[in-house]
Structure 1
Amino acid sequence: MLRVGIIGAGHFGAAHAQALRAVDGATLVAACRNDAEGLKAFTEEYGGKGYLDYRELLADPEVDAVVVALPHHLHTDVAIACAEAGKHIMIEKPLAPTVAECRRILAAADKAGVTLMPGHTMRFTLPFLAARRLIDSGEMGAMRYGSSRMIKLWMEGNRRDWHLDTATGGGMLFTAGIHALDRLLAFAGRRATHVSAVTATSFHQQKADDAALLLIRFGDDAAGQVASIGYANGAFISGDELVFDNGVLAVDFFKGVTFGKDLKWQPVEGSIEPDVAGQGLIRQWQGFAKAVATGEKPPVTGEDGMHVVACIEAAFKASRERREVAVEA
């Protein structure tokens, strides 16, 4: 049984606690939050011991693994401390706000011999998995073009001040648009090589971005685009259109997947379910627990998480300098 501690027992920490209830082979044993009242309410609802200091949680011998669900700028030091304490690490996306910090986390996990998995939850949703099965079958050939979108309300109820400032790793692209970017990278099945972008703050008074458009090259024979828009008023849009050598896919996270070939569309059975996000988080934990138990590579690697961050770093630089930028990692 994998015994889990949550560092950052807030809004999404609660989602992790809820998911763990449905995971065989993993259980919540501890949680950390920096206010006593909120911590008490969290542990009363989800169980486990409560800690106000994450270092005390890491010193608990009953904790085998930790999920880091903190503001982005706090990931690095805490993740390194987790590794040094010998705890396996699931870390909410982004892995860290910079490639340099990602490298430090990967090095610490490698040195300690612990499993590290970034929490790119949408890779575990049923629409994504159904699309990947078709892609992995090989019958469609290589992806040549892809378009992925995350267009949503930015000022949700869980929005915090740190989300609004670049100094704390905030912004729509790092917070939510990263999902669309990560999906495109995963569907492409190869590393991005170059990025050009327009990033802006269009809808809100804040220092960080709330809109970004990215054009991504995968070498010379494939490309993709990503829309990351945090509007002030609208309705949710999230999905992907992918063009392969021998067919096209439309991946809709509300309606499921459809496959296009010979000028006809065909729905893909078993590609949608109720509570898409919640079920994805359960599968994410199942994948992580299996990787820890077997010693195999996790379904999403630290290198995967670092590559997404590298693409975002390149996008911001490309926007500032108004040119295409090579992706660092």
Structure 2
Amino acid sequence: MIGIGIIGAGHFGAVHARAIAATQGLRVAAICREDAAAARVFAHEHGGHAHTDWRAVLDDSAVDAVVIATPHHLHAEMAVAAAQAGKHVLLEKPMAPTLAECDAINAAVAKAGVKLMVGHVMHFARPCLVAREILDGGTLGRPMLGSSWMIKLWMEANRRPWHLSNVTGGGMLMTAGIHALDRLVWLMGSEVATVSALSGTWFHQQEADDSALMLLRFADGRIGQVASVGYRDGAVGFAMDLVCEGGTLRIDFEHGVSIGRGGSWTPIAHSADPDWMQRAVEAEWRAMAAAIEANAPVPVDGTYARHLIACLDAAGRANAERREIALA
């Protein structure tokens, strides 16, 4: 039985705890939350030793691997320390706010010989997996142009002060819009070469962005766009279109996947899942367990996750300099 430590036993830590409980061969061995009373409540519900210092989780001999679900600016220190302690790491997205931090994490993991998977949950969500299967089948040809958007309420119940500051890796694009970016880059199947972007804060009083538009030029010449909008009031838009050589593929998290041909849309049966997030995190943990137990490759590694941060880094510079930026 693989013992899992949850560093960041809050809202999304509970999603991970439920997924761990649903995955054969895994158990919650330890949890960490700064609030001692809340940590005890979490441990009572989900199991494991309760700690208020994340370093105690790494010192816990019952812990074989950790999930890090903490504020973005804390990821690098915790992930590097976990690797140095010999713990496998499932690191919530984004990997880290800066490229230097991503490089430090990847170097520590490589030196320690532990597994690292970054929690880009789109790779495990049913609508995206159905779309991936259609693309791999070849009936639509290659996607030549993609448009992906994440439009949602920004000030939702679990929003915290660190989400609002650039210093702590906040902002809509880094926090939620990255899902739209990830989905596009993954399904287009090519690295990004250059980025143009417009970003700013139009709906809220905060330092970090609440809205951004990105234009991507892929290394093979294809193109894409990403919209990341955290509105004050509206309705959720979480979808994307891939315009392929032989038709259009639409991914909608409310209605599922549809294929556009001959001027009409044909829905794909059983391609939506009302509880897709929990199911995706469970699939994420099954993949992590296979990586630990059978040395299987992780579906989302540190190299890929760093590439997404490079896209966001380029977007920030593109907005500031008002020009297209090549990725670092």
TM-score by length of 1: 0.97
2: CA distance between counterparts of 1:26 and 1:188? 33
1: CA distance between counterparts of 2:60 and 2:141? 49
2:172 is matched with: 172
2: CA distance between counterparts of 1:195 and 1:25? 42
Spell out the pairing of 1:1-329 with structure 2 (5 A cutoff).
1-219=1-219, 221-328=221-328
SS at match of 2:122: helix
One-letter identity of the residue aligned with 2:211: A
Are the counterparts in 1 of residues 190 and 220 from structure 2 also a CA contact under 8 Å? Answer: no
Give the C-alpha shift of residue 133 in structure 1.
0.5
The CA RMSD over aligned residues, in Å, is 1.0
Are the counterparts in 1 of residues 195 and 214 from structure 2 also a CA contact under 8 Å? Answer: yes
Greater CA deviation, 256-265 or 155-164?
256-265
SS at match of 2:167: helix
Are the counterparts in 2 of residues 130 and 270 from structure 1 also a CA contact under 8 Å? Answer: no
One-letter identity of the residue aligned with 1:242: L
1: CA distance between counterparts of 2:220 and 2:242? 17
SS at match of 1:4: strand
Give the C-alpha shift of residue 79 in structure 1.
0.2
One-letter identity of the residue aligned with 1:99: L
One-letter identity of the residue aligned with 1:247: G
Report the identity percentage: 51
SS at match of 1:56: helix
Greater CA deviation, 242-251 or 223-232?
242-251
One-letter identity of the residue aligned with 2:198: V
Are the counterparts in 2 of residues 11 and 158 from structure 1 also a CA contact under 8 Å? Answer: yes
SS at match of 1:67: strand
1: CA distance between counterparts of 2:160 and 2:306? 24
2: CA distance between counterparts of 1:169 and 1:54? 20
Give the C-alpha shift of residue 220 in structure 1.
5.3
- How many residues align? The count is 328
SS at match of 2:192: coil
Give the C-alpha shift of residue 268 in structure 1.
1.5
2: CA distance between counterparts of 1:279 and 1:92? 16
Greater CA deviation, 312-321 or 216-225?
216-225
1: CA distance between counterparts of 2:200 and 2:118? 26
Q: Deviations over 1:177-204 (max 9, x none)?
A: 0000000000111101000000101100
2: CA distance between counterparts of 1:191 and 1:139? 23
One-letter identity of the residue aligned with 1:204: H
One-letter identity of the residue aligned with 1:138: G
Give the C-alpha shift of residue 291 in structure 1.
1.4
One-letter identity of the residue aligned with 1:36: A
SS at match of 2:78: helix
Are the counterparts in 2 of residues 291 and 298 from structure 1 also a CA contact under 8 Å? Answer: yes
Greater CA deviation, 295-304 or 66-75?
295-304
Give the C-alpha shift of residue 296 in structure 1.
2.2
Give runs of ≥4 in structure 1 deviating > 6 Å: none
SS at match of 1:229: strand
1: CA distance between counterparts of 2:21 and 2:272? 22
1: CA distance between counterparts of 2:61 and 2:201? 45
Greater CA deviation, 180-189 or 51-60?
51-60
5+ long unaligned stretches in structure 1: none
2: CA distance between counterparts of 1:314 and 1:79? 24
Are the counterparts in 1 of residues 6 and 31 from structure 2 also a CA contact under 8 Å? Answer: yes
Give the C-alpha shift of residue 114 in structure 1.
0.6
One-letter identity of the residue aligned with 1:117: M
2: CA distance between counterparts of 1:135 and 1:304? 20
2: CA distance between counterparts of 1:263 and 1:27? 50
